[in-house]
């Protein structure tokens, strides 16, 4: 089911010609900063992978990939990628990239099960990146350092946009204003709100937030959001506990908050979108599973049969490097920085007729 937010009195700050020019400027500028900050080199990525190898991203585990038969391979089935979370790690091994360095690529995907709206399209474009790390890097401090580097690139890109187009004024908090908070702590802080309502509340207050621990069970047995069990190393929480109010110091991330044992080496980067008046996810990322975490998380989700797949066998036999990686939405970032109300103002896609009519009536020009 599609869902549309129609901001009252909305008018684009840039016309179509300016928008197309600005999209290219943002993409060129940001990926240059990203590659410099994280020491990444660009590689070419696939649009599809063979089915049954465990390489495609399972997202929340319920989305159906778009598939097709390959005539010259006896109708072997291929899948349009959802993302390249696992393919990138295979590529790090193939290219023999050393610790401290990595890759990024332009990822294009089709997600047929998306609920279409201001933020979600059938077509997904993002910078997918992956970096080789060491065992000593598998900690929350390294995750936070990496998130800050990505956020710094966003802030610099926003400054460039505002210099080029004075009608757009800065909105993102400074790098020092980025809040890190665990999903369990967020639950404790707002126990009567849904996960989405918690995100809106905390992001409206701080402007930019990184929520740690996406996918693992919280103290009340729920999950903040779904995440595939075989790429990010997500958290588990030992027990429920009373509410806590402050952010968790880096040194205490793997300790406790009011009695709840916290862990988690992944998360989502959210900023406040003042056009839509809601939280806005720009990036999902994390330190990837090692063999121990893979076994634990597949057991927890009842997916241990996946250990027979090609990707999982490679990870278990130690032929894949330890890594950190994620995705950063290209159209999402452009939409945010250009103050657009709908992702269809940035990319060409298919929308329900009713949504196109409603957007036209609301001054939202879809491509």
Query: 107 pLDDT exceeds 80?
Result: yes
CB under 8 Å to 195, separation ≥6 — which residues?
A: 183, 187, 222, 224, 225
Say whether 126 is catalytic: yes
Q: 275 by DSSP, 3-state: which? A: coil
Q: Tokens in use for 119?
A: 């933020």
Could you tell me the pLDDT band of residue 205, with boundaries at 50, 70 and 90?
very high
Higher pLDDT, 89 or 57: 89
Give the mean pLDDT of the chain: 89
C-alpha span between 222 and 228 (Å, rounded): 15
Say whether 15 is catalytic: no
What is the mean pLDDT of the segment spanning 282-305? 94
What is the per-residue DSSP string for 36-101?
A: HHHTEEE----SEEETTSS-S--TTS-PPPPEEEEGGGTTEEEEE-S--TTHHHHHHHHHTPPTT-
The confidence score (pLDDT) of residue 235 equals 64
Could you tell me the pLDDT band of residue 261, with boundaries at 50, 70 and 90?
low
Instruction: Name the active-site residue from 35, 58, 83, 111.
Output: 111
Query: 252 pLDDT exceeds 60?
Result: no
Could you tell me the pLDDT band of residue 113, with boundaries at 50, 70 and 90?
confident
Instruction: Name the active-site residue from 175, 240, 281, 290.
Output: 281
Say whether 149 is catalytic: no
Say whether 357 is catalytic: no
| DSSP-assigned beta bridge partners for residue 269 | 210, 283
pLDDT in tens, 299-358: 999 999 999 999 999 999 999 999 999 999 999 999 999 999 999 999 999 999 999 999
Instruction: Name the active-site residue from 35, 57, 137, 153.
Output: 57
Instruction: Find out whether 343 and 123 touch, Cβ atoms under 8 Å.
Output: no
Say whether 58 is catalytic: no
Instruction: Name the active-site residue from 126, 153, 241, 331.
Output: 126
The confidence score (pLDDT) of residue 239 equals 46
Instruction: Name the active-site residue from 268, 279, 345, 349.
Output: 268
pLDDT in tens, 126-147: 999 999 999 999 999 999 999 9
Return the C-alpha torsion angle 53, 59, 61, 67, nearest 10: -50
Return the C-alpha torsion angle 54, 59, 60, 62, nearest 10: -60
Say whether 223 is catalytic: no
pTM of the model: 0.90
Return the C-alpha torsion angle 23, 119, 228, 85, nearest 10: -10
Could you tell me the pLDDT band of residue 260, with boundaries at 50, 70 and 90?
low
Instruction: Name the active-site residue from 31, 35, 284, 347.
Output: 284
Instruction: Find out whether 225 and 194 touch, Cβ atoms under 8 Å.
Output: no
The confidence score (pLDDT) of residue 58 equals 66
């Amino acid at each position: 089911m599609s869902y549309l937010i129609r901001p009252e009195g909305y008018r684009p700050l840039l016309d179509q010609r300016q928008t197309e020019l600005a999209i290219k400027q943002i993409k060129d500028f940001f990926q240059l900063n990203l590659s410099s900050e994280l020491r990444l080199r660009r590689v070419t990525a696939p649009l599809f992978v063979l089915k049954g190898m465990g390489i495609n991203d399972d997202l929340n585990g319920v989305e159906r990939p778009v598939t097709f038969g390959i005539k010259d391979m006896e109708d072997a089935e291929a899948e349009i990628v959802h993302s390249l979370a696992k393919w990138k790690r295979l590529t790090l091994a193939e290219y023999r990239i050393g610790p401290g360095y990595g890759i990024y690529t332009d990822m294009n995907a089709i997600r047929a099960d998306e609920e279409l709206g201001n933020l979600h399209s059938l077509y997904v474009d993002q910078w997918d990146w992956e970096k080789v790390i060491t065992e000593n890097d598998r900690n929350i401090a390294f995750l936070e350092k990496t998130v800050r580097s990505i956020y710094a690139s966003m802030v610099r890109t926003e400054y460039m946009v505002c210099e080029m187009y004075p009608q757009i004024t800065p909105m993102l908090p400074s790098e020092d204003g980025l809040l890190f908070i665990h999903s369990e702590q967020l639950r404790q802080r707002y126990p009567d709100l849904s996960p989405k309502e918690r995100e809106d509340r905390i992001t409206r207050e701080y402007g930019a937030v990184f929520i740690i621990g996406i996918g693992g069970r919280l103290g009340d047995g729920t999950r903040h959001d779904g995440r595939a069990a075989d790429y990010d190393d997500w958290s588990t929480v030992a027990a429920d506990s009373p509410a806590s109010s402050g952010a968790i110091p880096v040194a205490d991330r793997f300790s406790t908050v009011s009695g709840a044992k916290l862990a988690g080496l992944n998360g989502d980067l959210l900023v406040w979108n003042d056009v839509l008046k809601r939280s806005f996810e720009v990036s999902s990322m994390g330190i990837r599973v090692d063999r121990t975490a893979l076994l634990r998380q597949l057991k927890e989700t009842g997916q241990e049969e996946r250990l027979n797949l090609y990707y999982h066998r490679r990870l278990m036999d130690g032929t894949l490097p330890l890594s950190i990686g994620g995705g950063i939405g290209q159209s999402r970032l452009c939409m945010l920085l250009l103050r657009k109300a709908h992702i269809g103002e940035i990319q060409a896609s298919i929308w329900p007729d009713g949504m196109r009519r409603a957007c036209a009536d609301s001054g939202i020009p879809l491509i």
